[in-house]
Each structure stands twice: as structure tokens, then as C-alpha cells.
Amino acid sequence: MATDIVLSVAGLAKSFGGLKAVQGVDFEVEKGAIVGLIGPNGAGKTTTFNMIAGELPPSAGKIILLGEDITGQRTDMLYHKGLMRTFQLSHEYARMTALENLAVAAPDQTGEAIFASWFAGGKVRAREAEVLDLARDTLEFLGLTHVADELAGNLSGGQKKLLEIGRTMMNDSKVVLLDEPGAGVNPTLMRKVAEMIEQLNQERGYTFCIIEHDMDMIARLCGKVVVLAEGKVLMEGTMDEVRNDERVIDAYFGGEVV
């Protein structure tokens, strides 16, 4: 039986002038999996995410999402195909409330079309009501109902990370790229973030690919881990296999990578 691959990266490369940031990266993400992407600083992890998410054009290679070649497609196009990503530094709309931050992330908002806002006011209002109901349900799921009317810029780091996860829920994303969801988050909220990722994966079937420096979080969440070093895939396997691989230890702690 063929494996159900939702995201495939083959020969992915990116150069900035003479700097080869990513050099022929290959990996696959199965439907319903949580895959970790780890490596020392400068290994090419975020550059790889940026190419997958359409923020950087690859110098070479292919990216396949749900059987479609999406190489070089724009971020907004990928959003409508169900590919979402979060950032190490949260990108909330600081002067909008938490509820409004979620509402603007919903697709297919009739009021965005000027003629619909003029001539189909009933449909616009009905869709707005649906979006607000979904946003409130999402805040409840995340445990953030108490900050619904708080400006997003006033939220804690962990609350902002949960809000970013909530925005992926507003689009019912097929594949979510999480860039360091634990960065800048206190231990209590980090556990909450991990719980939300697990719930979305187990109860709603979300597929995740996660960059994270906290190895305990990776061990908790990820069935497969891909290790990058110097822009290349060093190895992939379970977290136990990764922790016991001498090449990984060398890459992290300064030995020679062989």
C-alpha cells in the first residue's frame, strides 16, 4: 500500500550569492504525522521552511504538496491550498484584539469583494457571523476566551504562540509549519502549546512539521526527526536514534561531521 505523503521536498537548495544555505535537502511528511526539523544554528532550517512556505524561491529542487508541485508559488496561493506556517517571532496584529486576529485569518470572506459588500449585504453579514462564531470556538479550544477582547500586542509570548496556532485552525489547514513554537514561552505555556499541537494532530488530523530547539518538546511530539547540518540532511529517524547518532552529537557539540 502506498504511503500517504502530503509534503515532499526533493533536492531543495538555496544560495545567497556565494553562500549555500541549503544544499539538496530531501524529506517527506506523511499525512497525520508530526515531523521535527532540527539542527544547530545556521543549519538551514528556517530557510527550508521559507522556501516551502513560498517566502523564498528555491535555487533548485521541488516541493510537492498533496500531490501538486508548488515550487515557487506565493504564500497567499499556498494558504488557500491548506499550507500554513507560524514564525519564531509571533506575527500578530498588535492593534487588533485576539478575536479579530483570528477572524481575519478565515478564508472566503464575502465582504472582501466590493460588489458583494454593495449588493449582497445579507450574505456578507451571514459569513461574518460564521467567522466570529468559529473564532470564539477557536479561542475556547485554546483556552484564550479570557483575552478575546484584549489587544494581541498585550498578550504574553505563550498566548501569542497559541493565537498563531489558532489562525491555522481558522483555515482548517492541511499542513502546518511551526517555527520554534516554544521560543520565548514559559514552561507552563510551553506545555499548553504542546498539548494544543497534540490535540490538533490526534483529534483533528492536522499534519505538522516543527522546527524546535527544545529537544524534550521534539521528543514528546515527533515520531520522525530530520536533522540538518551545514544545509544538508545529516540523518533522519526517531528521537532515540537521533540522540544516539555520533554524527548528530558532533554537529551539535563541535566535532567533525562525518
Q: In this structure, which topology does domain 5-92+173-253 adopt according to CATH? A: Rossmann fold (3.40.50)
Compute the distance between CA of residue 140 and CA of residue 99 in angstroms, rounded to an integer: 11
Residue 121's pLDDT is 54
Going from the first residue of the chain to its last (258 residues), give the mean pLDDT of each consecutive group of 10, the final group possibly shorter: 82 94 96 95 93 96 96 92 83 90 74 45 71 91 92 91 87 88 83 90 93 92 95 94 88 57
pLDDT at 113: 43
What is the reported pLDDT for 14? Answer: 97
What local confidence, expressed as pLDDT, does residue 208 receive? 96
Question: What pLDDT shows up at residue 20?
Answer: 94
Write down the pLDDT at residue 122.
Answer: 61
Burial per residue of 131-150, b for 16 or more beta-carbon CB atoms within 10 angstroms, e otherwise: beebbeebbebbebeebeee
Every domain of the chain with CATH number 3.40.50.300 lies at 5-92+173-253
User: Max Cα separation, the chain?
Assistant: 67
Which pLDDT belongs to residue 165? 87
State the distance between the two ends of the chain, measured CA to CA, in whole angstroms. Answer: 35
Half-sphere exposure of residue 231: CA atoms within 13 angstroms, side-chain side: 13
All three cell numbers of 94, joined, read: 498588535
pLDDT of residue 257: 42
Give yes or no for a contact between 31 and 39, defined as CB atoms under 8 angstroms apart: no
